[in-house]
Amino acid sequence: MFGIPTSIRNILGWLSIEEAMAISKCVWESGGFPGDLVEIGNYCGKSTVVIGECLKQGASGILYSVDPHEDGLKLYGVDSLKKLIDNLEKYHLNEYVIITEETSEEFSKKWDGPIKLLFIDGDHSYEAVKTDILRWSDKVVYLGWMLFHDSNEGGVAHAISELDKDKWGFQEQVGSLTIWRNRVR
């Protein structure tokens, strides 16, 4: 359990090993819940590999990972889609991860299933995070997880501050990752 290959350190991205372990723990603890896992924003696949590795090692569900990869070359000077595909191959995760090259908005219109773990790490502006929450959070099952990376950043922090705290119970902060749990049936 919680086995994360230390080689994920070599994948481009911002996730620390401690944050990766915290994500992994949530994936394992969502084992008995209905639904799948959804990730908004994958870049080169660091968090995708972390979640995918848990699924490969026996945690239940499929990860749907959404990112249009429009900014890759422009913003970060990296062909993030190619690196993502290479990383999924390298870690043998294609059976466990479905990538979709769309925006969160586009993909949310097609999605109507339950979600046991939602990881929001896409566009970090207040408007985008707020809209991601509105689009996706209602699909998270009772006791399911909602995680935000870079949750100390202005736009992300602002959107999180407006979460319905009767529904979303704060669980933990690890680095810039905050972890919330749906406590409403």
Residues found near ligand SAM in the complex (CB under 6 A) = 13-15, 40-43, 46-47, 66-69, 71, 80, 103-104, 121-123
Structure-block tokens of residue 98: 């479905």
Alpha carbons 79 and 94: distance in angstroms, whole number = 19
Q: What is the 3-state secondary structure (H, E, C) of the chain?
A: CCCCCHHHHHCCCCCCHHHHHHHHHHHHHCCCCCCEEEEECCCCCHHHHHHHHHHHCCCCCCEEEECCCCCHHHHHCCCHHHHHHHHHHHCCCCCCEEEECCCHHHHHCCCCCCEEEEEECCCCCHHHHHHHHHHHHHHEEEEEEEEECCCCCHHHHHHHHCCCCCCEEEEEEECCEEEEEECCC
Q: How far is the CB of 98 from ligand SAM (least distance, A)?
A: 14
Indicate the residue whose CB is closest to ligand SAM.
13
Q: How far is the CB of 24 from ligand SAM (least distance, A)?
A: 13
Nearer to ligand SAM (CB atom), residue 129 or residue 163: 129
- Least distance CB 67 / ligand SAM (angstroms): 4
Q: How far is the CB of 153 from ligand SAM (least distance, A)?
A: 10
- Judged by CB, which is closer to ligand SAM: 143, or 174? 174
Shortest reach from residue 48's CB to ligand SAM, in Å: 7
Choice between 3 and 183, CB closer to ligand SAM: 3
Nearer Cβ to ligand SAM (17/184): 17
Would you say 46 or 116 has its CB closer to ligand SAM? 46
Give me the least distance between CB of 34 and ligand SAM, in Å please: 24
The alpha carbon dihedral of 19, 56, 49, 121 has a sign of negative
Residue number with CB closer to ligand SAM (55 or 66):
66
